[in-house]
């Protein structure tokens, strides 16, 4: 994307975020004037958010901010922290040792986060315990600067919850890849299992509304303790229902 595009998307994201869901955005000429760009460039940026389902454009009527889903579904469709999930499915959990360190990013991490290789990142690792037994192990990689030193010191729960509570930058969605990995020595020790035993792994990219990855995470789950499910619709995805609040 272009140089100015990044900034434009970010500023447009803020305007969208500060518009109550269901409300109409200012007209395109007005927005373009306010953002200091041409209407063509603005429309391209808006197409980005339209593709993501954040806004809905109705010809000759205006552009509306989409209403986020009203009901909280159980399952993977809605992003929630493991802590929230665990307590909801009746697991009384506690947090094991937390490891927080600032270090330079690996090439893979830099690529995932869309940052320069070698830029510093914050590496947060923690385990989730139930009855003194680890059932989940979570690794969060966030670019330096996203979380301040003060926030890091007072860190108690999940990175996601911290970002949600803080409210900025506004979060959009998480792309979560599902996989199975064999426990290496480190993971086997953490979970108290044999090396090579299967673990459920989620690799996730957390996106802000401006399309930037703000958190790159690995979550390992001991089989049997969590039950993730997803509702898969039959048919095509295209043409999402407007779902506008009047």
Partner DNA sequence: CGTTTTTAATTTGTCAGACAATTGACGTTT
Partner DNA sequence: AAACGTCAATTGTCTGACAAATTAAAAACG
Q: Does residue 157 touch a copy of itself according to CB under 8 A?
A: no
Sign of CA dihedral 44, 46, 52, 56: negative
Q: Does residue 242 touch DNA according to CB under 7 A?
A: no
Q: Among candidates 178, 219, 220, which has minimal Cα distance to 197?
A: 220
Peptide bond into 195 cis (omega under 30): no
- Please, which of residues 29-58 interact with DNA by CB under 7 A? 29-30, 36-41, 43-44, 57-58
- Partner residues linked to 139 by β-bridges: 125, 218
Kindly give the pairing relationship between strand 213-221 and strand 120-130.
unpaired
Residue 62 binds what, of DNA, a copy of itself, none (CB under 5 to 8 Å, by partner type)?
A: DNA
Provide the CA 67 distance to its chain's centre, in angstroms. Answer: 18
> Which CB atom, from 55 or from 122, has the smaller least distance to a copy of itself?
55
Tokens for 129?
A: 């315990």
Q: Does residue 245 touch a copy of itself according to CB under 8 A?
A: yes
Q: Does residue 148 touch a copy of itself according to CB under 8 A?
A: no
Residue 29 binds what, of DNA, a copy of itself, none (CB under 5 to 8 Å, by partner type)?
A: DNA
Q: Does residue 90 touch a copy of itself according to CB under 8 A?
A: no
Report the C-alpha gap between 65 and 17 in whole angstroms: 9
Residue 25 binds what, of a copy of itself, DNA, none (CB under 5 to 8 Å, by partner type)?
A: DNA
Q: Does residue 150 touch DNA according to CB under 7 A?
A: no
- Partner residues linked to 143 by β-bridges: 121
Report the C-alpha gap between 16 and 66 in whole angstroms: 10
Work out which of 26, 35, 52, 188 binds a copy of itself, going by CB under 8 A: 52
Q: State in angstroms the smallest separation of the CB of 49 from DNA.
A: 12
Cβ(121)–Cβ(103) below 8 Å: yes
Which of the stretches 2-10, 83-91, 173-181, 198-206 binds DNA when contact is defined by CB under 7 A? 2-10
Which of the stretches 26-34, 72-80, 121-129, 144-152 binds a copy of itself when contact is defined by CB under 8 A? 72-80
Which of the stretches 103-111, 122-130, 138-146, 229-237 binds a copy of itself when contact is defined by CB under 8 A? 229-237
Tokens for 32?
A: 């373009």
Q: Does residue 10 touch DNA according to CB under 7 A?
A: no
Q: Is 212 left (phi over 0), alpha (psi -120 to 50) or beta?
A: beta
Residue 27 binds what, of a copy of itself, DNA, none (CB under 5 to 8 Å, by partner type)?
A: DNA
Work out which of 35, 100, 164, 188 binds a copy of itself, going by CB under 8 A: 164
Tokens for 240?
A: 């999402």
Report the C-alpha gap between 164 and 79 in whole angstroms: 11
Work out which of 131, 132, 185, 238 binds a copy of itself, going by CB under 8 A: 238
């Amino acid at each position: 994307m272009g140089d100015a595009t990044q900034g434009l998307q970010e500023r447009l994201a803020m305007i969208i975020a500060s518009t109550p869901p269901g409300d109409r955005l200012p007209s395109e000429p007005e927005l373009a004037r306010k953002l200091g760009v041409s209407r063509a460039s603005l429309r391209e940026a808006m197409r980005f958010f339209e593709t993501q389902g954040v806004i809905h454009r109705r010809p000759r009527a205006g552009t509306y901010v989409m209403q986020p889903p009203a009901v909280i579904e159980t399952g993977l469709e809605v992003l929630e922290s493991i802590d929230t999930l665990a307590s909801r499915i009746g697991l009384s959990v506690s947090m094991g040792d937390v490891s927080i360190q600032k270090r330079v990013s690996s090439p893979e991490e830099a690529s995932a986060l869309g940052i320069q290789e070698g830029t510093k990142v914050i590496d947060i690792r923690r385990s989730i315990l139930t009855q003194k037994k680890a059932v989940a192990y979570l690794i969060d990689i966030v670019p330096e600067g996203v979380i301040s030193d003060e926030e890091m010191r007072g860190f108690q729960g999940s990175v996601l919850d911290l970002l949600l509570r803080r409210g900025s930058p506004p979060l959009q969605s998480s792309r979560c890849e599902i996989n199975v990995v064999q426990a290496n020595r480190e993971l086997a020790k953490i979970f108290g299992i044999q090396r090579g035993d299967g673990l459920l792994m989620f690799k996730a990219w957390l996106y802000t509304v401006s399309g930037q990855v703000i958190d790159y995470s690995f979550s390992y789950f001991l089989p049997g303790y969590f039950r993730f499910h997803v509702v898969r619709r039959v048919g095509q995805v295209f043409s999402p229902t407007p779902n506008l609040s009047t």
